[in-house]
Amino acid sequence: MKCHPCIPVVAAAALFCAVSAGLPAAAHAQEGDKPYTVEGGKVDQGTYNGFRRYHSICHTCHGPDGLGGSFAPNLAESLKVLKFEEFIGIVAGGRQNVSASSESVMPAFAHDPNVMDHIQDIYAYLKARSDGVLGRGRPERLAQK
């Protein structure tokens, strides 16, 4: 696929990749404190894509709508503390918490373009959930400008 060669260089490369693939920058969530646009419950294309990508991969452990569970933490809560750089580091590198009473294993997604090419969007979606500006369920999309 078009993004493969740059994926192993992890986070920054993946971000670059999304841009270099020729996608219009405006279609993606923006960086910064509020990397999303939510108006009247409707979201920008990037945040919507984040919802979609989250719910095809991450939700099996982290629960629907980022609410977490006994397999993995509530990300709507985690993102109140985690900064974007920490978030992307964990997604790319994974982490393990395995003991007699706990078996939590976060896989490393550094080589998965289905995650890393969309990591900004996934972050934007979860940040909107974390900030309490986006409710549960499939959001409506704002009209393309």
Partner 1 sequence: MTGKLKASLLAGVVGMAMVVTSGQATANDELKKLQTDPNQWVMPLGNYSGHRYSPLDQINKDNVKNLKVAWTFSTGVLRGHEGGPLVIGDVMYFSTPFPNIVYALDLNDNGRIIWKYEPKQDPNVIPVMCCDTVNRGVAYGDGMIFLSQADTTLVALDAKTGKKVWSVVNGDPGKGETLTAAPLVIKDKVYVGTSGGEFGVRGHLTAYNIKTGERVWRGYSMGPDSDILMDPEKTTHLGQPVGKDSGTNTWEGDQWKIGGGTTWGWFTYDPDLNLIYYGTGNPSTWNPVQRPGDNRWSMTIFARDADTGMAKWVYQMTPHDEWDYDGVNEMILADIDVKGKATKALVHFDRNGFAYTMDRTNGALLVAEKYDPVVNWATHVDMQTGRPQVVAQYSTSQNGEDVNTKGICPAALGTKDQQPASFSPKSGLFYVPTNHVCMDYEPFQVSYVAGQPYVGATLSMYPPEGADHLGNFIAWDASAGKIVWSNPEPFSVWSGALATAGDVVFYGTLEGYLKAVDAATGKELYRFKTPSGIIGNVNTYTHKGKQYIAVLSGLGGWAGIGMAAGLTEDTAGLGAVGAYKQLANYTQLGGVLTVFTVD
27 lines the binding site for partner 1 (CB under 8 A): no
- Told to check if 95 binds partner 1 by CB under 8 A, we report no
**Are 139 and 43 a contacting pair, CB within 8 Å?**
yes
Per DSSP, helices labelled H in the chain are 10-20, 45-53, 59-62, 75-78, 84-93, 113-116, 119-130
Q: Which of residues 36-75 bind partner 1 (CB under 8 A)?
A: 51-52, 55-57, 59-61, 63-65, 67-71
3-state secondary structure of 72: coil
Q: Which of 98, 132, 144, 145 binds partner 1 (CB under 8 A)?
A: 98
The stretch among 23-31, 85-93, 110-118, 123-131 that binds partner 1 (CB under 8 A) is: 110-118
| CA pair distance 95, 88, nearest whole angstrom | 12
Q: How many residues bind partner 1 (CB under 8 A)?
A: 34
CA distance 130 to 67: 10
Q: Which stretch binds partner 1 (CB under 8 A): 33-41, 80-88, 123-131, 133-141?
A: 133-141
| Pairing relationship of beta strands 42-43 and 38-39 according to DSSP bridges | antiparallel
Residues in contact with partner 1 by CB under 8 A are 1, 3-4, 51-52, 55-57, 59-61, 63-65, 67-71, 96, 98, 103, 105-107, 109, 111-115, 136-138
